[in-house]
Chains A and B, each alone.
Chain A
């Protein structure tokens, strides 16, 4: 997408210039603010491009959405003509898109065919998706990092092998299967979790959140394990031991910190992806999130809804990638912005 990447070089930029080391003392220093501003500006063309592509795809869908709306009963010709005119459906693609963007610039995200503002749909669905994502990320961090650290510290142990086998298993089962099986066993048969819906508050998010996290959870575990095992062999860990540091300090300060850098990167990018909604998980557990909304909107050819939500998802994705890049430089001083 032509976005500038964070580049590893020697001679890093300091994020927080200290008092006795004023900014500008080193010629290569560049403030992080400028980097972030530039990256944010670059998201504008990306968002325009993405929204146009989506708009074009919805336009290209076969069939007349107004007629579909009415079902079997044919609409009076006058009503159909009025609706078609209201939603600009007879205009050429570029004109439709221009009118849509024109509305956006006035803060109007458009409405669906029932007259409900798209912004309302988003503000209703977004909290659900954010909650589901938060639960999923919580599992990734809690279980993924813990299991990865334990496996990495005791390579070749029974636990390590258990982790290897179970993560392979999880990665190879499709989410759809995992979702239905867990819903049937844990929800229907054992009754430990609600079968579907979000009527029981946060509790009803636990099982869907876990299923949504499952694949990433496996990756986080494996990534943590490998990264930790690599760090443990590093020369600087040997130095830390030779310094007479307590074993705990050697592991926590001189091994974990270094080995979690790639894990943090992965999880950060995953947040952006998960916020894009989980169509399968939301469908299986009947959760009214953004993923569900997009699915319904596509099947009803609700152009404004599809474009509005997907553009938001693209923004989340870009934004969290930016957060990861900035965070990366905080964690690893060898990184500098370019």
Chain B
């Protein structure tokens, strides 16, 4: 999975992944009008942590949506709020200290407005999540079969024996060799890649409409990373689920995502199709990310990093949160916006492209 900015885009646009290469499981999804109708919508999501110190504004008005069969990547550096936004969707943030506002609509119903019990019933069959480090994310004292089967037992009241059978089927489905022999093994008896497959099997147990994958391959070595991503894509094709991929790996995004949302300091700064964003970034931050990728033909040259460090979420600068690191930042003269004072709105700059920069047009056309 070598990072590269150009070239083939295997998954295609959301529109064709919605109509081509669908198997029977996905046919179900096609029965309801799907393309374009989002299964999950996040609107103006804000998450802040009120602890003893200063308030940490982890997510500051993030909106995105995901359609069945679509893969959307959320790209950003560590600490930009990408995982927190996902955890808010899953309802696994502790409130307090977290304070969540905005709307998270699953199939049109706002999860933040419903009761805890209704919300819980969506986790698993509706929205499901896999985590970065499968070893710590799986309970060490229960067998993997138990932990996978627990999904059926908790949500469908399946018997213990039946749940174990279904766990074997799922382990087969995520291509764990000798699933029947290994169903009673414990997480520590599996390799890193196999453990992540166990996580995936668990998350997919109830055929979720949306799967959130939070850095699913970061803890794995490169060859295993590719296998796990391939598996996720195959399973997505089979089930027609929407996939939200949270990552800082540009190579992974380029290979699997239909659309990408770039986050910086708790905000989405640019969204668009992966091709567009990667080839013609409309935000200086995105451009900085793209030009920081080492290219094979540039061997021997210095890397080209973005200067400075991302701001602390407890002290986000006024105006555009990126202006302190931005090579294009302007002091607004003659009626033009001041990057250090005016907050740039996320606006459509080209059809299908949104960017939160006052000077996106210059970047695109200049």
Contacts and interface: CB of A to CB of B under 8 A. Distances in A.
Interface string B252-290: 000000000000000000000000000000000000000
B123 A333 contact: no
Interface residues of A, number: 29
A244 B155 contact: yes
Nearest to B89: A242
Nearest to B186: A333
Interface string B120-135: 1111110011010100
B137 A333 contact: no
B138 interface: yes
Interface residues of B, number: 32
A21 B120 CA distance: 36
A18 interface: yes
Contacts of A244: 120-125, 151, 154-155
Given A241-B91, A242-B128, A249-B154, A12 B136 contact: no
B137 A238 contact: yes
Contacts of A243: 123-124, 128, 150-151, 154, 202
Interface in A34-61: none
Contact of A332 (B128, B140, B189): B140
A242 B154 contact: no
A20 B139 CA distance: 23
A238 B151 CA distance: 15
A152 B195 CA distance: 30
B184 interface: yes
B90 A12 contact: no
Contacts of B154: 243-246, 249
B165 to A, nearest CB: 12
A238 B133 CA distance: 12
Contacts of B124: 243-244
Interface in A197-250: 234-236, 238-246, 249
Interface in A139-172: none
A156 to B, nearest CB: 11
B133 A235 contact: yes
Given A243-B124, A244-B120, A10 B92 contact: no
B188 interface: yes
- Name the residue among A18, A234, A238, A240 with the largest chain B CB count within 10 angstroms: A238
B141 A257 contact: yes
A258 interface: yes
B141 A242 contact: no
B180 interface: yes
Contacts of B186: 12, 333-334
B186 to A, nearest CB: 4
A236 B136 contact: yes
A254 interface: yes
A221 B137 CA distance: 27
Interface in A288-325: none
Interface of A: 10-12, 18, 20-21, 25, 234-236, 238-246, 249, 253-254, 257-258, 261, 331-334
Q: Which 4 A-B pairs have the closest CB atoms?
A: A244-B123, A244-B124, A235-B136, A236-B139
21 contacts: A11-B188, A12-B186, A12-B188, A21-B181, A21-B184, A235-B137, A236-B140, A238-B92, A242-B92, A242-B123, A242-B128, A242-B129, A243-B124, A243-B202, A244-B151, A245-B120, A245-B150, A254-B139, A257-B141, A258-B140, A334-B186
Given A238-B92, A239-B137, A333-B188, 7 more contacts: A20-B181, A236-B138, A243-B154, A244-B122, A253-B142, A333-B140, A333-B143
